Amino acid sequence: MPTSPTFHGKALVLGDNDLADSLVARLRQSGVPVDHLKSPALSTLDAQLQELWQSGVSLHVFLTTAHDADANWAADDPIGFRRRREPGLQVPYRLCQLWMQRVIDAEQMDDATLVTVVRGGGRLGISPLDGSPDQVSLETGSMSGLTKAMSIEAWVRGYRDTPMLVIDPARDQSPNEIVDGVWRELAVPSYDEEVVVSPDGRTVVSGRHTPLPSGAGSQHPGNTRYPLTPGGVWVVAGGGRGITAMTAMALAERHDLSLHLLGMAPTPNIDAETRDHAIRDRADLRRVTMRRVQAAGDNPVKHWRQMEKAIEIDLTLRECERRGIQATYHSVDISDSDAVENALEIIRRTDGPIRGVIQGAGSGQDARFDRKRPDKVDQCLSAKIDGTVALAHATRQDPLEWFVGFGSISGRFGANGHTDYSAANDMLAKLIGGLGRRRPTTRCVTFHWHAWGDIGMATKPEAKLALDMIGMNFMPATEGLEHFLNELERGGDASEVLITDRRYIRKFFQGGEDEVPFSAPMLLPNRRGDAETPIAHTSEFTVTLDPTHDRFLNQHLVSGTPTLPMAMAVELIAEAAQIDSGRPVTALTEVRAIAPLKVPGDDAFAVELFHAPDQPSRWTLACDLRRRDGRLVQSRRPHFEAIAAHQQTTADDWTHSPENGRRLQIDMNWVEYLPPEAPVFHGQELRCLRKIGFTHDPAGSGAPLAVGTIVAPSPSHLAGDHRPLSGWITSPATVDAMLYAAGMLAGSVAARPSLPISIGRMDLGRLPLPGERVHVTARWLGELEGGRGGRLSVLAVGDNDQLIARLGDYRIGWLAS
């Protein structure tokens, strides 16, 4: 692959360290104008950036503050943390906040890049780590969480190809070797957001599914895997209400623990009448209270928020009393290290040494990145980060058995509107992991929680609406509680535990499933014949397609009706041929669209694939044709057919070729896809052709030529949540983008829309990497007889010029206007 990136404007490097100096030097060697901010003060940062960006915003930003000399403070060192809070957390956050919006306003986001080079010991700060804890900067967490959240927000705002990378150098690399790794990552864009680079290669993060025995909540577990002393004293930050209170009470009840709940709210003083009203009808109490406060001239919203907190804390204490749990509430600012130290000293004098800590404090507010208020950002960071440092410091002399953090999937993956919350949660995890490395006798673990459905911050109306809009499936509280108890009583030794659903794993860890030879992501569900018969060596297959969930159907409309794309039909035929023969399919010939397979409704339906007994290589894709009332009109109506070839190939066969049009220096424009009412409509997940330009073949023929760039998606973007990610033979969305480029070329020649008719030969190369730039060249070869369509050839190659796919004698037909 290429090792040198392309830069589109000036760069900005933040950090006072040798790596920052090496980045500046390499950029200047590459002819890129660069500004270097070493240790700017937060109070003057806005003015400095305004001056630097007078002639235009820096398009390429490199954050290296985690490599500063004083960035290796310990998780239980509040003095070191306070010294680094501004340069390591607040300054990078503010710089990115100003930068991203300036780049968007300048309409240059598609040419921009953001690289955050962290110092996570070659494991992105995820324990266990070998060697000294000093190899890791805990600031890795805040910087990686921020970068991931920015990437998600850019994606939501329509900027899907802007590299925003978290890069961790493997240990013992020189600054120049680290820069080499950064350059390689920028040279070949991918959807891998967190990458460890070394001279020998690269490593990415994935999730490992590790189920634990279920049913922990049903009986007392007896002995736990790690020490958990019955009757011990536990401190619970943010434990007065919500998820943290619920989980702490369940654990205390099972292990006879004494709870000390820390919270910012004052100690509650709720009278019996108000308490009963809240239990009976919380919504009515809210209406009555707000009317009364408003009549008195005060702020009803603010008053109710404070009153509701007091009610919830009071109810938690009453519930502890009902269950026989000894519980005390302490009003304390969790971010104030001295205040936490004093509160814990009082606890020790009354109850004894502290055995466990749950850090569940949190504060968050949805807002677009550029609209995040500094005071709200500071409040969010204080609850999660300052509070964790304070608790770690205050328990340094205790016989601490457990330090548990309640994070969020927003810290692991990033989240739209949650740049500060993502930064805080990822840093919470790295702080607790760092504490575990310093205190090997303490079990230190962070839960990256999925959104709970019945309780917690995700139930706020504004948060719930935002999560509903992205199709978030909420986790029932009973299930979350079981995960919590299982992990504490029977769990492993991972420092970070991710509790989420398969949809999120597939979306963010796109290569996370094991590769299965000759597996078939489309053919595995449902098969014609005996269900006990092994799938290999059968010559007939049935695939269930679902227009509600299969995005290749509901995002591909012909005259407003979901229609199976030829690119997906090709994939289905290739899978059937490969499973049937047990040999890889390397080409398809005589590919023919016989009749469009249109889907008039939302019901799932079956598609059959079979070959004739006397022609084992010729495959047909068919579907029963029925009336609207369900009556059969035609059994096995053919829609597509092709002949599968199985020649042996090597990587050398994929290396291409003078046909590669990307050698031509032509102007390319961003592709504007047609609206839903157009004759052919492609939805967002099929819009992989990003740029295209038109010219004429300079090799003598003068034929019309189109050159474009496709950004290859992960299979998870198109295939739906219920299809495996491994086993794909083609990249259907990439092939469809090749056909779209050919259609745009045909449209530029004849000013008419078209659909595929046939492909004389389709050679298959390697699969593109998710996020890789695929270079497509389409050539106009002439009109078909009678002027009913046209002939083209289409070639797609990867960033290293290896073949992705080649279409020879590709024929299209004109759609009626």
600-636 pLDDT, tens per residue?
788 888 899 999 888 889 999 999 887 777 777 888 8
The alpha carbon of 514 is separated from its chain's Cα centroid by a whole number of angstroms, namely 19
pLDDT of 142 above 50 = yes
| 190 located within any domain | yes
Q: Is the pLDDT of residue 752 over 50?
A: yes
Q: What total of structural domains would you count in the chain?
A: 5
Q: Is position 516 within any domain?
A: no
Tokens for 245, please give them. 């209170």
Is residue 31 a contact partner of residue 6, using CB atoms and an 8 Å limit?
Answer: no
- Would the pLDDT of 213 be above 80? no
Specify whether 164 is located in the same domain as 249: no
Query: How much is the pLDDT for 600?
Result: 79
Copy the structure tokens of residue 677.
């009412």
Within a domain: residue 596?
Answer: yes
CB 156 within 8 A of CB 369: no
Question: Looking at the predicted structure, is the pLDDT value of residue 23 above 80?
Answer: yes
Is position 783 within any domain? yes
Last residue of a domain, one of 460, 484, 508: 508
Whether residue 662 sits in one domain with residue 608 = no
Whether pLDDT at 768 is above 80: yes
The percentage of residues in the chain with a pLDDT greater than 70, rounded to a whole number, is: 90
Give pLDDT tens digits for 365-404.
889 999 999 999 999 999 999 999 999 999 999 999 999 9
Shared-domain flag, residues 250 and 385 = yes
Average pLDDT over residues 38-49: 96
Q: Say yes or no: 336 and 308 in one domain.
A: no
pLDDT of res. 217: 46
* Residue where a domain terminates, one of 650, 679, 702: 650
Instruction: Specify whether 128 is located in the same domain as 21.
Output: yes
Mean pLDDT of 720-747: 88
Q: Which residue has the higher pLDDT, 459 or 430?
A: 430
Cα–Cα distance measured from residue 59 to residue 32, given in angstroms and rounded to the nearest whole number? 11
Residue 217 lies in a domain: no
CB 766 within 8 A of CB 654: yes
Kindly indicate the confidence band of residue 581, based on its pLDDT and cuts at 50, 70 and 90.
Answer: confident
Whole-prediction pTM value?
0.89
Q: Tell me the range of 48-52, 486-490, 552-556, 657-661 where mean pLDDT is highest.
A: 48-52
Q: Is residue 2 part of a domain?
A: no
Asked if residue 436 belongs to a domain, the reply is yes
What letters, b where the CB count within 10 A reaches 16 and e where it falls short, cover 258-274?
bbbbbbbbeebebeeeb
Query: Nearest 5°: phi and psi at 743?
Result: -65, -35
CATH of the domain at 732: 3.10.129.10
**Could you tell me if 664 and 809 lie in one domain?**
yes
- What radius of gyration do the chain's Cα atoms show? 30
In angstroms, what CA-CA distances link 722 with 14, 114, 192, 437? 43, 33, 22, 39
| Burial (Cβ within 10 Å: 0-12, 13-18, ≥19) of residue 440 | exposed
Residue 140, in any domain of the structure: yes
User: Poorest-confidence range of 173-187, 433-447, 448-462, 801-815?
Assistant: 448-462
Residues composing the chain: 817
Mean pLDDT in residue range 68-82: 95
Predicted pLDDT at 218: 44
pLDDT digits 0-9 by tens, 466-484: 454 445 678 899 999 999 9
Q: Are residues 166 and 241 in the same domain?
A: no
Q: What is the mean pLDDT of residues 86-111?
A: 96
**Domain with 68 in it: what CATH number?**
3.40.50.720
Residue 660 pLDDT > 70: no
Higher-pLDDT residue of 11, 362: 11
435 and 444 in contact (C-beta within 8 Å)? yes
Average pLDDT over residues 575-599: 92
pLDDT tens-digit profile of 261-300?
999 999 988 889 998 898 889 899 999 989 998 998 899 8
Q: Is 736 a catalytic residue?
A: yes
Give the pLDDT confidence of 402-412 residue by residue, as tens digits.
Answer: 999 999 999 99
The mean of the pLDDT values for the chain is 88
Q: Are residues 444 and 366 in the same domain?
A: yes
Q: Are residues 396 and 493 in the same domain?
A: yes
Q: Is the dihedral of CA 402, 403, 406, 410 positive or negative?
A: negative
Give the domain extent around 284: 265-331
The arithmetic mean of pLDDT across residues 91-99, rounded, is 98
Query: What CATH number has the domain bearing residue 595?
Result: 3.10.129.110
Query: Which of 393, 418, 556, 682 is the catalytic position?
Result: 556
Question: Is there a single domain that holds both residue 398 and residue 475?
Answer: yes
Distance in angstroms (rounded) separating the CA atoms of residues 494 and 126? 9
3 neighbors 184 (Cβ within 8 angstroms): yes
Catalytic member of 180, 314, 398, 736: 736
Q: Is residue 298 located within the same domain as residue 353?
A: no
Alpha helices in 296-367 (DSSP H): 300-323, 337-351
What pLDDT was estimated at residue 650? Answer: 59
**pLDDT 10s digits, 774-796:** 999 999 999 998 889 999 999 99
End-to-end CA distance of the chain: 44
- pLDDT of 520-535, one tens digit each? 677 754 444 444 444 4
Residues 350 and 437 in one domain: yes
Is 167's pLDDT higher than 90? Answer: yes
